[in-house]
């Protein structure tokens, strides 16, 4: 179990490293969650059933669509991505068990933290 946790954190860390070529924003987290391989990794880590996985897939894609619509309507990328992340978190809470949700929140927080850290270092 401990190895799986470390592996998943490493996968997410390396997944966010693919965006290191340019400064990143929290919108990358929304795109990362909507990625098929990331979704599979999250589903395996959280031990979701097939129905939970499909519902999460729909929520993540809807979150990305909402972010893109908000940006098109004039919202800043940061505002739109923050709302999309909260949308994803709120809906994930309804889909996942309490234990699964706690793990999911830690994954999202870690991903956002890594992206912000890369953005900070890219500015230097």
pLDDT digits (tens, 9 = 90+) for 87-115: 999 999 999 999 999 999 999 888 888 87
Q: What is the pLDDT of residues 21-44, one digit of tens each?
A: 333 456 777 888 878 998 999 999
- Alpha helix (H) residue ranges in the chain: 2-17, 27-33, 36-46, 50-72, 77-95, 98-123
Could you tell me if 67 and 30 are in contact, meaning their C-beta atoms sit under 8 angstroms apart?
Answer: yes
Q: Predicted confidence band at 117 (pLDDT cuts at 50, 70, 90)?
A: confident
């Amino acid at each position: 179990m401990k190895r799986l946790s470390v592996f998943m954190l490493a996968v997410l860390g390396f997944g966010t490293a693919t965006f290191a070529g340019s400064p990143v924003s929290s919108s990358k987290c929304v795109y990362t969650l909507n990625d098929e391989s990331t979704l599979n990794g999250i589903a395996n880590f959280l031990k979701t059933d097939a129905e939970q996985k499909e519902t999460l897939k729909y929520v993540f894609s809807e979150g990305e669509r909402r972010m893109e619509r908000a940006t098109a309507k004039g919202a800043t990328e940061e505002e739109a991505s923050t709302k999309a992340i909260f949308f994803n978190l709120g809906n994930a809470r309804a889909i996942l068990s309490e234990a699964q949700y706690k793990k999911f929140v830690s994954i999202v927080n870690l991903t956002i933290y890594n992206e912000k850290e890369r953005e900070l270092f890219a500015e230097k």
